[in-house]
Structure 1
Amino acid sequence: MRDHRVNPVDAIWLNMDRAHNLMVIECVLFLDGPLDRARFDRVVQRRLIDAYPVFSRRPVVGSRRRSKARWRDVPGFDFTEHVREVRLPAPGDAASLQAYVGGFLSTPLPRDRPLWDIHLIDGLDEGSAIYVRLHHALADGIALTQVLLSLTDVTPDADVSGGHGTGARHHGVGDLVAVARRAAPEVTGALRPARVRASTLAVIRGVLSGAGVLGKLVLTRNPRSALVGSAGPHKRAVWSDPIDLQLIKDIAATSQATVNDVLVSALAGALQRYQVERGARAVDIPTVVPVNLRPMHLPLPRELGNRFALVLLVLPSGLSSAAERLAETKRRMDRIKGSPEPVMTFALIQTIGRLGRRLSSALVAFFGGKACGVTTNVPGPREPRFLAGTRITSLLGWVPGSAHQTLGTCIFTYAGTVRVGFKTDTAVIADPDRILAAFHAEIDDLSRVLAAAGRR
């Protein structure tokens, strides 16, 4: 029987499941027609099970008190036991699919088998869907997005003509994918003796920058707002129809911002509007953003695992106009890009993973309590992809929140469109549809700013 050790960082997420926040990554793929099950099974076997052994292993903890968990082969493993076929009742609309997904958001993945499930969903009024659940202990959301995209092809017949789906490039999170690569040399290089002799001032800047980041991580607090409360076991998921990516690009170009700036600014505006609608004074809302730290040119390791950092972004939701929010979002994003924060949080995660289960859980809860939730902005493939011959029309995926975080936001760009989805805790945010409507309203306001600029 083969196995491999659960590394300390993966062990953090393995041990962090709570009734009010499971450590499960949730993904939805939308297809333009029915899926060929036989072709799909062959793709999953070849590109998932054979490629990444952790998908046929379950976590096992030894009998001794300080034994480390290991990923161990499941005897007689049959991956089809992890794939269920579902047909939604009429009308099979978006609300029906959202209700189906929401019904599983608080359901733990069984520990006596590999920690993943796939739901093949028919009965939709348009096409079909695939709902995938993956435990965070397998890998970070950035890596698992790449794994899912490796199941896809650039042409509908590539899976039967000998092609392979690993042409999907390494996907990171928004414009922040390059942050770590820029920040790491600044941090590590500043500590080399030659660099110290060459530029003492650079070292002082690096130390002060690091101290500022540490202060930010320790002192930032999640202010009282309509988005804060004690999370419960029930969640909801809602998402938008596809949005034209060219509209977002036009807004970005006119504002001298990036696409990522515009989309994150729209989230800030949505949360400002939601707070005001709830009768509260709008305040800035902190959110956590994952950052990729894997080399972009290398394939994923067969063992997968978690290798990511986090940055704490305070959304300017306290500002009153869409234009102000976009300008301030850009300023804050630019500041993060020049910061060693990703490198420092990666080191912090590595350290926490070695402190033991009780202390690591306490520290994750402490830092998790500083944000309302997690925001991912994933730039997917620019051209349509095919899964077992069926075209994928769009994708979404949420990473889990920790502590009492209540709002997960996923923004996914794909084949000329953008889709945004919200996962909320219903004990605190029972009406995520209002946040979704507010997001669209913010995009509309930014479009009007664009139109006004064009008339000048």
Structure 2
Amino acid sequence: MREHRVNPVDAIWLNMDRPQNLMVIECVLFLEGPVDRERLHRVIQRRLVDAYPVFSRRPTTPRHRWSRARWQDVPDLDVAAHIREARLPAPGDSAALQEYVAGFFGTPLPRDRPLWEIHLVEGLAEGTAIYVRLHHALADGIALTQVLLSLTDAAADADVDAADEGGARHHGVGELIQVARRVVPEVPGLVRPSRVRAGVVAAIRTALSGLGVVRKLLLTRNPESSLAGAAGERKRAVWSDPVDLQLVKDIARASDATVNDVLVSALAGSLERYQLSHEGRTRDIPTMIPVNLRPAHVPLPRELGNRFTLVLLLLPSGLTDATERLAETKRRMDEIKRSPEPVITFALILGIGRLGRRLSRLLVTFFAGKASGVTTNVPGPREHRYLAGTRITSLLGWVPGSADQALGTCIFTYAGTVRVGFKTDSRVIPDPERVLDAFHAEIEELSRDLVASAR
């Protein structure tokens, strides 16, 4: 069987599975009715396995400590072997589905076959759920969400064999190319004295900003709080009902902020409220945010792989109200957008990937220990999509945490709604419902402030 060397960056995630945090990306698709199994199998075969070769490859064990892992082709892959079927017990509510999903958060994907599986979960009071597990070594969460959305169609009766271009519009804090253009001055015209002076000033500012980023990456610590601790193997999952996206847009417009600013601010407020209820005091909680490095207009490569970076955001706390917290969140987000942090962290990831398994683990653990977890905000399709002929009502997905990270947050906008989901470590955060309730309370406070300012 043919073998292919694992990309150094992909190898980081292939080797980072730990009992307390597996490198598995978890996604849940909510559908309004039953799914045609035969059609689902055909969609997965055509648009997943045939389209992206890594889904028909399994990892091999390196022959030597210093050698790199390889992908090995699995000929005649049986798609059905990667699809589980399950039925929830009555009443088939959200709590039952959350318990089912969380029950697999600590289960490794078998290494003797390609690193993915799909669960068709029936017995829900409202429709069907598709639960997808994909190893981070296949690709980053941004790319894999686009891959999953490539399985969907704009209409129920779409041709299974015809690809549909309705994938996710993924944006992080900023595209690398946009950051690079701010960091590196344009070459034409630099010989003019005024351009020379401007170039020197820009270079000095960039250097100073870079030093600040390095200092931030080295010195930031995840503070002792009710959101930090030694993670265990058991996890929990909770998620909200869909929230009207227009409300979030109205808050953003009135605050001269973005939708992302509002949702991340609501997360900051929820963690402040959670800390107050447990400790009576608050601290800024650091979280990692993935940044997409692929140009939005370029199709995904068939080989996929990881092409992203991470930035570190301190979620503000200790402020007087939700409006002030939103303003501070926007300020911090804007500061990251103007900085070379995505460029520096991307270079750091590339370097770590070439240092060997043992040293890579140590460095990833070191940097992971600086944050409570990972926060993703995915702007999905504006219109409803269909999977194997059944309409998708909403989606969620979590990227994995590392080391002892205990809090994963997913915010997913889709078809005029937004949904938030939390993946928490049961030992550190045994009551994620309180985080979720606090998130809703923060949105409600921002909404009241909006109404009050309109008067």
TM-score by length of 2: 0.96
Q: Which residue of 2 aligns with 1:180?
A: 176
> Separation in 2 of the partners of 1:64 and 1:192?
50
Q: Which residue of 1 aligns with 2:449?
A: 449
Over the residues paired in the alignment, what is the CA RMSD in angstroms? 1.6
* Superposition deviation, residue 187 in structure 1: 3.0
> Separation in 2 of the partners of 1:255 and 1:143?
31
1:202-232 residue CA offsets vs partner (Å, 9 max, x unmatched): 1111111111111111111111111010001
Q: Which residue of 2 aligns with 1:164?
A: 163
For residues 329 and 188 of structure 1, do their structure 2 counterparts lie closer, same or farther at Cα, with a shift above 3 Å needed? same
* Conservation of the 8 A alpha-carbon contact between 2:175 and 2:294: no
1:35-78 residue CA offsets vs partner (Å, 9 max, x unmatched): 10111111111000000011010011342443221111124421
* Superposition deviation, residue 319 in structure 1: 2.0
* Conservation of the 8 A alpha-carbon contact between 2:227 and 2:428: yes
Q: Does 1:391 align with 2:391?
A: yes
Q: Which residue of 1 aligns with 2:364?
A: 364
Give the match's secondary structure for 1:236.
Answer: strand
For residues 192 and 99 of structure 1, do their structure 2 counterparts lie closer, same or farther at Cα, with a shift above 3 Å needed? farther
> Separation in 2 of the partners of 1:193 and 1:26?
49
Q: Which residue of 1 aligns with 2:405?
A: 405
Q: Which residue of 2 aligns with 1:321?
A: 321
Q: Which shifted more, 191-200 or 330-339?
A: 191-200
Give 1:56-95 correspondences, 5 Å limit.
56-95=56-95
> Separation in 2 of the partners of 1:145 and 1:54?
15
Question: Which residue identity lines up with residue 171 of structure 1 in the other structure?
Answer: R
Q: Does 1:5 align with 2:5?
A: yes
> Separation in 2 of the partners of 1:297 and 1:240?
31
Question: Which residue identity lines up with residue 180 of structure 1 in the other structure?
Answer: L
> Separation in 2 of the partners of 1:361 and 1:65?
13
Give the match's secondary structure for 1:337.
Answer: helix
Give 1:183-198 correspondences, 5 Å limit.
183-189=179-185, 194=190, 197=196
Question: Which residue identity lines up with residue 110 of structure 1 in the other structure?
Answer: P
> Separation in 2 of the partners of 1:109 and 1:408?
19
For residues 323 and 303 of structure 1, do their structure 2 counterparts lie closer, same or farther at Cα, with a shift above 3 Å needed? same
For residues 307 and 256 of structure 1, do their structure 2 counterparts lie closer, same or farther at Cα, with a shift above 3 Å needed? same
* Conservation of the 8 A alpha-carbon contact between 1:288 and 1:375: yes
Question: Which residue identity lines up with residue 172 of structure 1 in the other structure?
Answer: H
> Separation in 2 of the partners of 1:352 and 1:297?
29
* Conservation of the 8 A alpha-carbon contact between 2:147 and 2:167: no
Q: Does 1:247 align with 2:247?
A: yes
Q: Which residue of 1 aligns with 2:28?
A: 28
> Separation in 2 of the partners of 1:385 and 1:335?
35
For residues 300 and 85 of structure 1, do their structure 2 counterparts lie closer, same or farther at Cα, with a shift above 3 Å needed? same
Q: Which residue of 2 aligns with 1:206?
A: 206
Q: Does 1:427 align with 2:427?
A: yes
Q: Which residue of 2 aligns with 1:343?
A: 343
Q: Which shifted more, 187-196 or 430-439?
A: 187-196
* Superposition deviation, residue 108 in structure 1: 0.5
1:397-440 residue CA offsets vs partner (Å, 9 max, x unmatched): 00000111000000000000000000000110000000000000
* Conservation of the 8 A alpha-carbon contact between 1:92 and 1:123: yes
For residues 185 and 263 of structure 1, do their structure 2 counterparts lie closer, same or farther at Cα, with a shift above 3 Å needed? same
> Separation in 2 of the partners of 1:395 and 1:453?
33
* Superposition deviation, residue 381 in structure 1: 0.2
> Separation in 2 of the partners of 1:337 and 1:253?
19
* Conservation of the 8 A alpha-carbon contact between 1:84 and 1:119: yes
Give the match's secondary structure for 1:124.
Answer: coil
Give 1:13-162 correspondences, 5 Å limit.
13-160=13-160
TM-score by length of 1: 0.96
Question: Which residue identity lines up with residue 308 of structure 1 in the other structure?
Answer: F
For residues 4 and 187 of structure 1, do their structure 2 counterparts lie closer, same or farther at Cα, with a shift above 3 Å needed? farther
Question: Which residue identity lines up with residue 418 of structure 1 in the other structure?
Answer: V
